[in-house]
């Protein structure tokens, strides 16, 4: 054998018959219109998980690939890592694993991924590794791998045991909290950076302080993502309307949850606890692009990679109509730059109902995620976000203190100076948040109950 021929590929140490499509070379001319950076969520086990959380929207995706083993092959892993590193123009690249449950692939799979990153990383390219897991399968070996490679590990915990176990159950319907906590504590013992992904649903929506304080104080969480559960009740057959399952968060309760946690957070936790929703919102008050796609004006820069190389417009749109192509035959940067993907991204902005266009907090909300836009506006127009009432209430409530934080940052200070401003206000003076109420009846109430106390 003297060299590669059709149907063969040369690897470093041998020539082998692949019987699989040969991965395309990088585009010689990177499309000029391709985004400089985009986010890929890779799902090496597709939707397959060892648990059976009742609200999980991934499990139903099994039907897309009937009879499939749902395991990412090594050839695809190689292609994926190479392409994702080739695709990003800046020095920083995030490689993100999700599921289903990605740890079902075994430690060896991610070790091979780490080797491939080292093989394909450009000089100066810095890779941040992240993985989202239910935590139940973690071992010392997993934690060592995460610690060695600086992973940020997201663990799904919905609050204290009774709230977590309301919907997060295994295949037999058994609670999972104890197993998740064991995995989380193992990560902490190995000094792995963790992020708690906490869904807000019908079971915990009315207990914001209990949930937040549990994550912050009992688990020592420093990174928290709050994710509203919105499940369409498709069985009802309605395509438009606000039919959701009984597990879904109520829009008003979602607003109250965010407001209550925000008020607790501004009293003592700014700069100490990172709450993704608040951080992303602050970016909007600063006029910066939000770090969270749901608040961005357009979509299109966060694609999902299935276990077989199929690339979809977004993790929330893993459906045939949103399949962009397969990265084994077309380079992912071309798929992300495709007219189909750009139309998907622009539709988020272009399909906003008049009610949103006239909304005072649109600069921060932008109609949130299109997957939740299935209710009617007060005028009867379609396409309003199911969570609208909650977001409107939260953004309106947060406005005064977001402005203050943004002002501090613009003048070279820090957002956490707002905590001092709140503490220093006279008790009978107007609250610095701009509510028009006396400080003692407004945010100073939260200072009194925060761990820092009213005196700082």
Catalytic residue annotation: 315
- Beta strand pairing call for 92-97 and 39-42: parallel
* CB 439 to ligand SF4: min, Å: 28
| Full strand arrangement of the beta sheet holding 310-312 | 274-275, 223-228, 193-200, 152-156, 126-133, 92-97, 39-42, 302-305, 310-312, 323-326
Per DSSP (E only), the strands in 134-247 are 152-156, 193-200, 223-228
Cis preceding-peptide flag for 223 (omega within 30 of 0): no
Tokens 């957002």: give the residue: 415
CA torsion angle 284 358 200 38 (round to 10): -50
Comparing CB distances to ligand SF4, the nearer of 268 and 359 is: 359
* CB 372 to ligand SF4: min, Å: 8
* CB 333 to ligand SF4: min, Å: 17
* CB 359 to ligand SF4: min, Å: 3
**CA nearest to 105, candidates 56, 76, 140, 70:** 70
Tokens 């934690």: give the residue: 143
How does DSSP assign 289-328, residue by residue?
A: PPSSGGGSS---SEEEE-TTSEEES-GGG-SGGGEEEETT
Binding stretches for ligand SF4 (CB under 6 A)? 293-294, 299, 302, 314, 316, 348, 355-356, 359, 361-362, 365, 367-371, 385, 388, 391-392
**For every residue of 168-183, which 3-state class applies, written as one string?**
CEECCCCECHHHHHHH
* CB 347 to ligand SF4: min, Å: 9
* Three-class secondary structure of residue 393 per DSSP: helix
The phi, psi pair for 422, rounded to 5°, reads -65, -40
């Amino acid at each position: 054998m003297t060299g590669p021929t059709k149907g063969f590929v040369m690897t470093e140490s041998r020539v082998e018959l692949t019987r699989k499509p040969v991965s395309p070379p990088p585009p010689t001319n990177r499309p000029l219109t391709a985004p400089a950076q985009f986010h890929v969520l890779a799902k090496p086990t597709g939707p397959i998980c060892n648990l059976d959380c009742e609200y999980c929207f991934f499990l139903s995706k099994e039907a897309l690939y009937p009879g499939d083993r749902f395991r990412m092959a090594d050839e695809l892993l190689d292609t994926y890592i190479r392409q994702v590193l080739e695709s990003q123009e800046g020095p920083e690249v995030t490689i993100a694993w999700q599921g289903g449950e990605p740890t079902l692939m075994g430690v060896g799979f991610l070790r091979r991924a780490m080797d491939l990153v080292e093989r394909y990383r450009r000089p100066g390219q810095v890779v941040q590794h992240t993985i989202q897991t239910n935590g139940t399968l973690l071992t010392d070996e997993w934690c060592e791998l995460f610690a060695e490679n600086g992973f940020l590990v997201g663990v799904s915990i919905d609050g204290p045991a009774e709230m977590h176990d309301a919907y997060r159950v295994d295949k037999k319907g058994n609670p999972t909290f104890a197993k998740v906590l064991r995995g989380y504590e193992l990560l902490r013992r190995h000094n792995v950076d963790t992020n708690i992904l906490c869904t807000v649903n019908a079971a915990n929506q009315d207990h914001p302080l209990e949930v937040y304080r549990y994550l912050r104080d009992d688990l020592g969480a420093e990174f928290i993502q709050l994710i509203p559960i919105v499940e369409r009740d498709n069985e009802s057959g309605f395509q438009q309307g606000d039919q959701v399952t009984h597990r879904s968060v109520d829009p008003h309760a979602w607003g109250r949850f965010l407001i209550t946690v925000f008020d607790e957070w501004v009293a003592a936790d700014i700069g100490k606890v990172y709450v993704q929703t608040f951080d992303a919102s602050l970016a909007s008050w600063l006029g910066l692009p939000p770090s969270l796609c749901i608040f961005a004006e357009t979509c299109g820069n966060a694609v999902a990679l299935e276990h077989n190389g199929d690339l979809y417009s977004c993790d929330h749109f893993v459906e045939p109509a949103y399949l962009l192509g397969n990265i084994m035959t077309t380079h992912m940067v071309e798929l992300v730059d495709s007219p189909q993907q750009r139309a998907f991204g622009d539709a988020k902005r272009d399909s906003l109902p008049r009610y949103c266009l006239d909304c005072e907090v649109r600069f921060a909300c932008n109609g949130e995620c299109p997957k939740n836009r299935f209710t009617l506006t007060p005028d009867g127009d379609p396409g309003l976000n199911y969570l609208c009432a909650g977001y409107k209430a939260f953004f309106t409530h947060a406005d005064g203190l977001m402005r203050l934080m943004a002002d501090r940052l613009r003048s070279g200070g820090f957002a956490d100076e707002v905590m001092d401003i709140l503490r220093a206000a006279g008790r009978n003076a107007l609250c610095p948040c701009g509510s028009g109420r006396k400080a003692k009846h407004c945010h100073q109430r939260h200072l009194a109950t925060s761990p820092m106390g009213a005196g700082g």
